[in-house]
Structure 1
Amino acid sequence: MHPDRQRKIRALFDEYIEMYAARDDRLTARFSQNFSGYPGSGTRLIHNRDEWIRITRQDFAQVPGRIRMEMLDLALQDLSTDVVVATAFFHIHLPSGGHQLSREVARLVLIFRCEGEVWMIVHCSYSIPYQSAQDGEVYPLKSLEEQNSALQALVAERTQALDESQALYRLLTEDTQDVLWRTDSQLIVTYISPADERLRGFRADEVVGHPVFEMFTEEGVELVKGMLRRRAIEDSAGSAGGFLRFQVEHRCKDGRLIWGEVQSKPDRNAQGEIIGYHGITREITERKRLEEQVRQLAFHDPLTRLANRRLMLEHLEQAMSASKRSHRHGALLFLDLDNFKPLNDLHGHGVGDLLLIEVAERLKACVREADTVARFGGDEFVVLLSELSTQPGEATEQAVAVADKIRLCLAELYVLKTAPSAPAIGHHCTASIGVAIFHGRDESQNAVIDRADTAMYQAKEEGRNRIRLAPGIGGTG
């Protein structure tokens, strides 16, 4: 990456950190209209900018004093000319002096996009390493059901107002970028706004009088028909709701496919019979593309491409459920590099990053494809082994064998080059490994992680470059 570009991305990141740490409400003005985010330790992607602003202000109100963010690692990426990413690992120090967060490694992913001449934040993903955030805590997660209900009520109210004045309805639809449409009870298009021609290339007379399904791909047709069937069942039971909201691919006149987000609602006569449908379609192709990038960044470490903490926890949850069904044991290996900091101090973070990438490749080569390798932050890695023996002793032997294979592999000489013409840097770096065997759901996820983490620290205290088995299932430590 060109140094000027790197300095630009770093300046954007530093500005965000300063405003967030200072609890500066001006930060909310930096969020793009197309913003999305993962708050705290949740896995639900929020698309609503106003909801994110609400969460941010609630955070600021609950902890009004300045916080300190102790940076441990920072990765800067250039996705395209107008999209850049910063990923950071850090400790959070609250003004109250609480140590719950300061002991843990938090992760932040920021995606900036140049909109016009201004760099805006289009995605923010926090991974806070603690469970069960509740109301009143620093980063609570609340259901969006109430907001969605309010939004549906608002859309219904505005749609009713448009129905009462057809002239006003047409006036409003002529210039909007969203496509407004109507169909009869047989889903034959009776009206479509001029935005559809700008969006898909079809004139209104090429769409009106045709089935609405001609707009969609075959997969889209099946999706919509399935939703209509479910809605008909709900309607017959008297439990049908208001708007249907779904995302579906649309066909364009030139052969392209674009994504549209559709909100649709039936029109009824005085007897409650459906006499047609009306709705709004908004193009979201760019948003879908960005969401895919966001998902990749939200569940994977950008430097090593390994799973991150959030994805590892999901895989551990699945492994524990599978273990309960099959009665096979699993194992969690917690690794910490023994000689990493001197390399960073002597040669800089760029060379340190090269070593972390090589460590990731060696770890993946030591395990099966079904196993999971994750980077928890800094120079900490986790390996999840599943489908081990049903016998605790045999499962322990299997896990320790893999751990020893990893230990020997990671201890081999690293030859690092920052550029093809640059001189090679040789470095020896071993690892301390803690192994925790688990069976079904005999304990919680956190308990398994804590056992492996404690065993790893024991390996470090006893001289490093060694393996220690955690007390509990399969061994005595």
Structure 2
Amino acid sequence: MLDIALQDLSEDVVVTTAFFHIHLPSGGHQLSREVARLVLIFRLEGAEWMIVHSGISIPYQSAQDGEVYPLKSLQEQNSALQALVAERTQVLHDSQALYRLLTEDAQDVLWRTDAHLVITYISPADERLRGFRADEVVGRHVFDMFNGEGVAEVKAMIARRAQDEASGTPVGFLNFEVQHRCKDGRLIWGEVMSKPDRNAQGDIIGYHGITRETTERKRLEEQVRQLAFHDPLTHLANRRLMLEHLDQAMSASKRSHRHGALLFLDLDNFKPLNDAHGHGVGDLLLIEVGERLKTCVREADTVARFGGDEFVVLLCELATQHDEATAQAAAVAEKVRTRLAEPYVLQAAPSAPAIGHQCTASIGVAVFHGRDESQNAVIDRADAAMYQAKEDGRNRIRFAPGSAEAG
């Protein structure tokens, strides 16, 4: 005890004030040497003094890591901590709301898989897109989402990623476009953006990504391609696409040592039909010619309309020997000539009168091998041979001189 004082308020009332140091009740953990004040009020009752009131003023303090903090300071810190907790709680709430906005309300599909490509999460957008509920998708392999071609594309992507990583090439997001299966049996196009998840050691432990539907974009792209590379009347390849295919065929011929051939056709009796019945009926003839030409060739070959009444047929992967390849081209050319010479019945509408027409074609053939000449040179030779067929009486086949010999 530091000090004590007595004060008489009356003959039977006395106030005692004492000052002393205060310590924690547990030994060895002294708070501080702060002074506390004890006030006792005594009253004389008979022959004894009785305590009628007591009070103590303690500088409440706490010790942490050797530091002493007044209670008021702790209360202030507690209030600040409560405010911080409230702030962090609001931030968490906002983050959760943003997460729901980005995942549950997003139009694109967000997904995650484990290292074995088993789906562990998929956002609600997938149900809107493909019709499958999340519980029908989670736990299944990603290959179940795609058609056969899509599965092959994903496998190829994984193989490419593995090769890049083995060579030390950094791999971030990979983009690929595949068809996805819908619950109702439809197939839709989707662009997939995928990135691996890695642990601290750099090992892949899963994948995450976004899928965006591109069906409408693909449809528009196909329309643009159709307009850019196909004849609007017959829907055959146009000159531009034919030149592209010819370039590819010449490159393939150089690799495989097989020949190719170009057939250049011009209709012999087209103008009189146009003059007599108008362009509408003439267009019907051109459409029918295109359909007949497609029945004369393989799927790998190309039929194109060059303009007017001129058509081109590109034959690929003929024999390696020149004479044999020439015979193959001649057989196709004869098939074309015979098929186009069959009678035509043209009718613009069910109520319109049917118009009968006989039309033949003059055909020039140029056999090529590799890249021994340019595309234009091949076309020019076939065109010249076609004019020779016309001069020789029409409805004939003529081979261009100077066809490339096998090397």
Q: Say whether the 8 Å CA contact 2:263–2:366 is kept in structure 1.
A: yes
Instruction: Give the deviation of 1:237 after TM superposition.
Output: 3.9
- 2:212 corresponds to: 282
Instruction: Give the deviation of 1:168 after TM superposition.
Output: 3.6
Matched, 1:373 2:373: no
TM-score (norm 2): 0.59
Tell me how far apart the structure 1 counterparts of residues 185 and 295 of structure 2 sit (CA, whole Å).
43
Tell me how far apart the structure 1 counterparts of residues 331 and 130 of structure 2 sit (CA, whole Å).
59
Tell me how far apart the structure 2 counterparts of residues 413 and 257 of structure 1 sit (CA, whole Å).
42
User: Which segments of 5 or more consecutive residues in structure 2 lack a partner in the other structure?
Assistant: 1-94
Tell me how far apart the structure 1 counterparts of residues 155 and 188 of structure 2 sit (CA, whole Å).
19
Matched, 1:337 2:267: yes
Matched, 1:348 2:283: no
Tell me how far apart the structure 2 counterparts of residues 402 and 185 of structure 1 sit (CA, whole Å).
54
- 1:216 corresponds to: 145
- 1:390 corresponds to: 321
AA at the equivalent of 2:400: A
AA at the equivalent of 2:142: F
- CA-atom RMSD in angstroms: 4.2
- 1:89 corresponds to: none
Cα offsets for 1:340-392 (capped at 9, x unmatched): 23422432222012211332344456667775433222211113345268355
Matched, 1:239 2:239: no
Q: Say whether the 8 Å CA contact 2:119–2:142 is kept in structure 1.
A: no
Instruction: Give the deviation of 1:448 after TM superposition.
Output: 0.5
- 1:80 corresponds to: none
Of the candidates 446, 449, 468, which is equivalent to residue 376 of structure 2?
446
More deviation, 345-354/228-237 = 228-237
Q: Say whether the 8 Å CA contact 1:231–1:240 is kept in structure 2.
A: no
Of the candidates 91, 101, 105, which is equivalent to residue 171 of structure 1?
101
- 2:62 corresponds to: none
Tell me how far apart the structure 1 counterparts of residues 389 and 170 of structure 2 sit (CA, whole Å).
60
When the two structures are aligned, how many residues end up with a matched partner? 309
Tell me how far apart the structure 2 counterparts of residues 263 and 452 of structure 1 sit (CA, whole Å).
47
Q: Say whether the 8 Å CA contact 2:369–2:404 is kept in structure 1.
A: no
The alignment partner of 1:334 has SS state of strand
Instruction: Give the deviation of 1:238 after TM superposition.
Output: 2.7
TM-score (norm 1): 0.51
- 1:416 corresponds to: 346
- 1:197 corresponds to: 127
The alignment partner of 1:352 has SS state of helix
The alignment partner of 1:472 has SS state of coil
Choose 1 or 2 for highest CA Rg.
2
Q: Say whether the 8 Å CA contact 2:177–2:189 is kept in structure 1.
A: yes
Instruction: Give the deviation of 1:167 after TM superposition.
Output: 5.6
AA at the equivalent of 2:285: L
Identity, % of aligned positions = 80
- 1:216-365 map, 5 Å: 216-217=145-146, 219=148, 220=150, 223-224=153-154, 227-250=157-180, 252=182, 258-268=188-198, 272-274=202-204, 276-288=206-218, 301=231, 303-313=233-243, 315-317=245-247, 319-320=249-250, 323-324=253-254, 329-364=259-294
Tell me how far apart the structure 1 counterparts of residues 256 and 118 of structure 2 sit (CA, whole Å).
52
- 1:432 corresponds to: 362
AA at the equivalent of 2:310: E
Q: Say whether the 8 Å CA contact 1:396–1:474 is kept in structure 2.
A: no
Call closer, same or farther: CA 1:282–1:417 in 2, change over 3 Å.
same
The alignment partner of 2:168 has SS state of coil
Instruction: Give the deviation of 1:243 after TM superposition.
Output: 0.6
Instruction: Give the deviation of 1:330 after TM superposition.
Output: 3.9
Matched, 1:180 2:117: no
Tell me how far apart the structure 2 counterparts of residues 413 and 433 of structure 1 sit (CA, whole Å).
18
Q: Say whether the 8 Å CA contact 1:333–1:434 is kept in structure 2.
A: yes
AA at the equivalent of 2:172: G
Q: Say whether the 8 Å CA contact 2:146–2:181 is kept in structure 1.
A: yes
Call closer, same or farther: CA 1:338–1:241 in 2, change over 3 Å.
same
- 1:153-172 map, 5 Å: 168-172=98-102
